[in-house]
Structure 1
Amino acid sequence: MVAAMTDLFPPWPLFSAFLLASLVLAVTPGPSVIYIVTRSLVQGRRSGVVSVAGVALGNLGNAFAASVGLAALFAVSSLAFSVVKYAGALYLVYLGVRMLRSSPVENSAAVPAAAPHPRIFRDGFVVALLNPKTTIFFVAFLPQFLNPDAPPVFQSMALGFLFVAIAAVTDSGYALAAGAAAPALRRSAVRRLGRRLGGGVFIGLGLFAAFAGSRGAK
């Protein structure tokens, strides 16, 4: 049993390289980090942490998809890739428009204690899951660290889970740091500007996801 578990990970020199590369990639700001920071600034620390959980679960879905070969479908079918990519982009734009159209009363109620956490979790999950470039990233990144003598599907799932866990830790750091600044924003006269900025960021992320190339990770 112990031997079977150790087969899920490469030898230590390669495994240490995987951990270092994962940490560097996780702390590098990308669309998910911007999404989480925006949530934390606009709606508070707890909302940011809930977004981290939703994004992590969505990324796990992408890691699983990569393990079972869905990324291969995206690679050979531009239609499948485009459908998922544009669905995710439209959802980001929808979140931005919804934030821009929210009233000051709604925004004042969106403090951490009153934030609709199930909806925030769902939003983070959908945003991360409907990003096929994350699946492509996993299928390109994880094979570099697989042990050829062990089943590749289970190895890639284990490494994908570990990568998502590392990213969740670093994303939580971003959420906590941004959430610490949220009370000052809510007490200041720029609260409305912060809401508009957050909505603009979501719309910008949606447009970026729609028109960017196939590169991208997190």
Structure 2
Amino acid sequence: MFHPSTLLLFFTASLLLALAPGPDNIFVMTQSAIKGRVVGLVVTLGLCTGLIVHTSAVALGIAAVFQTSATAFNLLKFAGAAYLLYLAWGAIRAGTESPLQANAREHGLFRFYLRGIFMNVTNPKVSIFFLAFLPQFTHVEFGHLPLQIGILGGLFILATMIVFGALSLFAGVLGHWLRRSDNVNKWLNRTAAAVFASLALKLAMSGR
């Protein structure tokens, strides 16, 4: 199986990649700042569940479809962009609504878990990234290739949970202080709407 140095190198690289600014960690921080650290942690669990889907897609060879088929890639990315625009519209409508009011309207934490899953799964670039990144650390002599991909995917998910969890706690604490004012609530919601719209535009314009 894997040499410890290989796993250490992979885990370190995964931590650094999770820290690099990207749609997922920006999404986590935005949700945590507006709705609290618990929501941010639940969104993180959803995003990591999405990574399980991408890992499985690479292990089973499905991810290659998004690399070779422009139609499949575009359908998935436009679905993700549309969802982000929907979230942007929801943030605009929220106005000065308090986090407690918003959470009651959102019908519980499970909705945010599903939001994290959908946010991650509808980004085909994650599958393509995994398709390029994970196999670099696999070797024939290490054994069954899909099992190797599964182990590496699990380590990447662990690194993501650590980094995104820390970001959720930081943004949640910061947001708690900022949300004391209705004017700040309004500003936070408008900022979130702008972030979601920007992420939607970036995803819609992205290529393979």
Task: Tell me which residue corresponds to 2:188.
Answer: 194
Task: Tell me which residue corresponds to 1:213.
Answer: 207
Aligned with residue 164 of structure 1, among 154, 157, 162: 157
Deviation at 1:111, TM superposition (A): 5.8
User: What secondary structure does 2:17 align onto?
Assistant: helix
Is contact 2:36-2:99 (8 Å) kept? no
Q: Give me the whole-angstrom Cα distance separating, in 2, the residues matched to 1:107 and 1:164.
A: 28
Per-residue CA distance 1:5-25 (angstroms, 9 max, x = gap): xx2xx2123222212211111
Per-residue CA distance 1:63-84 (angstroms, 9 max, x = gap): 1111111111111111111111
Greater mean deviation of Cα atoms: 192-201 or 31-40: 192-201
Q: Give me the whole-angstrom Cα distance separating, in 1, the residues matched to 2:114 and 2:158.
A: 19
Is contact 2:95-2:185 (8 Å) kept? no
The 5 A counterparts of 1:131-210 are 131-149=123-141, 150-188=143-181, 189-210=183-204
Q: Give me the whole-angstrom Cα distance separating, in 2, the residues matched to 1:107 and 1:180.
A: 13
Is contact 1:47-1:115 (8 Å) kept? no
Q: Give me the whole-angstrom Cα distance separating, in 1, the residues matched to 2:12 and 2:187.
A: 38
Per-residue CA distance 1:107-128 (angstroms, 9 max, x = gap): 551369x872111111111000
Structure 1 pair 108/14, CA: closer, same or farther in 2 (3 Å)?
closer
Amino acid across the alignment from 1:142: L
State percent identity of aligned pairs: 34
2:116 equivalent to 1:124 = yes
5+ residue gaps, structure 2? none
Q: Give me the whole-angstrom Cα distance separating, in 2, the residues matched to 1:49 and 1:211.
A: 29
Task: Tell me which residue corresponds to 2:89.
Answer: 97
Task: Tell me which residue corresponds to 1:4.
Answer: none
The 5 A counterparts of 1:36-115 are 36-105=28-97, 107=99, 109-110=101-102
User: What secondary structure does 2:118 align onto?
Assistant: helix
Please report the TM-score for the alignment, with normalisation by the length of structure 1.
Answer: 0.88
Is contact 1:58-1:129 (8 Å) kept? yes
Q: Give me the whole-angstrom Cα distance separating, in 2, the residues matched to 1:158 and 1:115.
A: 35
User: What secondary structure does 1:135 align onto?
Assistant: helix
Deviation at 1:205, TM superposition (A): 0.7
User: What secondary structure does 2:140 align onto?
Assistant: coil
Q: Give me the whole-angstrom Cα distance separating, in 2, the residues matched to 1:146 and 1:105.
A: 49
Task: Quote the RMSD (CA, aligned, Å).
Answer: 1.8
Instruction: State the number of aligned residues.
Output: 205
Is contact 2:97-2:185 (8 Å) kept? no
5+ residue gaps, structure 1? 1-6
Amino acid across the alignment from 1:191: N
Per-residue CA distance 1:171-206 (angstroms, 9 max, x = gap): 000000000011211112311011111111111111
Is contact 2:51-2:157 (8 Å) kept? yes
Amino acid across the alignment from 1:203: A
